[in-house]
Chains A and B, each alone.
Chain A
């Protein structure tokens, strides 16, 4: 728990416009450098919205009623622009098809850097390095929309890597991937944590989290109901919320164990 504080949420609440129920309700959390945080909860519990609050997408882009304060690197997100926010936190969406819109892998990964005003050659060099890290160098000049789901997700992660931000937010990053691709994605995330980055991932797969996450946050109805180590995954609360506990140590092992 000794890492430097990188993200703080103070009494954050968010209600989507046109909705009555709060998607995130009075949530206060502190995230530190080098943490691998797994956010778990039933479908519709507010996991994704919490991620959107972390990097200011809610309420800057997503309309709704917001209260509380989010501090990224000590600065209030409300007073930061997205180019500045992206230096602190990058986000990978659940479906990579929704975030890929450039015509080559190289351009896609360099997109955020070019928006920051980085010289084109420098941005492309950083993009090439990030693409190499996720093992897709041979696809550099290919159309990302033609890649497999696993490769697309890696391109989305490479975009976050190229941004070199301190925090990587991921929304169910392996929900549409096969076992091998899931393992590869989590190996990349492990390496980032070893470098001191903070990884915050929403996830339904408790087996993957039990093997990789150093901290588990359980959310239900927009509220944090449990925050602790990987042992949280084996608590009765997990089954009570309709989630599957990890199957490690049992005779029957699930596909990701």
Chain B
């Protein structure tokens, strides 16, 4: 879902430390700019996706659950914002206008960091975080988490395929149980492997 997608583009080629700094700057500008600037930032986000040679719509389609993050608060705004606003000479309900701008604003806020994750190898992200002073212990936790996310995704895909092959319909519980069991088993063996190589969680 958040995995690195190997491609040749200027965004991929950019140094991870520079990318992280630019991402932080871009996010801060978005947060502190007036809501009316949201379309401009969203256009910039789309441009970044184009520079990264990533199909924005494909990225959204492949991660539908992520769309809930901007969608739910924006819908709430549509429903609860009262009054009207004049836009280009037209009098429109404030909820629709502000809700739409809110949706665009939150989309930029969600999909720009995602672009960073999609275009930067996990090892480079970890190195960049260490460069900006993240403690070694946290950088290690990040690397284990990143590897585990990839493992869980693969395991879920395999389990789903195995269940479908046996005529099982999509069932969240039937998918979750074997995946969780496998994750706990892997976590246990991983802990043994770390201990056998002298890893001391308290010392690192």
Contacts and interface: CB of A to CB of B under 8 A. Distances in A.
A115 interface: yes
Interface stretch (A86-94, A198-206, A249-257): A86-94
Interface stretch (A20-28, A99-107, A230-238): A99-107
Interface in B135-152: 143-144, 146-148, 150-151
Contact of B123 (A62, A98, A107, A111): A107
Contacts of B193: 91, 93, 98-99, 101
B196 A90 contact: yes
Interface string B184-195: 001001111111
A98 B186 contact: yes
A4 interface: no
B197 interface: yes
Nearest to A116: B198
A90 B192 CA distance: 12
B199 A111 contact: yes
Interface string A53-90: 00101001110000000000000000001110110001
Interface string A111-148: 11001100000000000000000000000010101000
B151 A145 contact: yes
Given A100-B147, A103-B146, A143 B198 contact: no
Contacts of A97: 151, 186
B45 interface: no
A80 B4 CA distance: 41
Interface range, B side: 20 to 34
Contact of A115 (B146, B151, B186, B200): B200
B190 A143 contact: no
Contacts, number: 82
Nearest to B203: A115
Contacts of B186: 97-98
A86 B146 contact: no
B192 A145 contact: no
A61 B191 CA distance: 8
A155 interface: no
Contacts of A101: 143-144, 147-148, 190, 193-194
Interface of A: 52, 55, 57, 60-62, 81-83, 85-86, 90-91, 93, 95, 97-104, 107, 111-112, 115-116, 141, 143, 145, 159, 163
Ranked 5 nearest A-B pairs via Cβ: A112-B197, A99-B193, A83-B198, A115-B198, A98-B189
Interface of B: 4, 121-123, 126, 143-144, 146-148, 150-151, 186, 189-200, 204
Given A85-B196, A95-B189, 11 more contacts: A57-B196, A83-B200, A85-B198, A98-B189, A98-B193, A101-B144, A102-B143, A103-B122, A103-B147, A145-B150, A163-B197
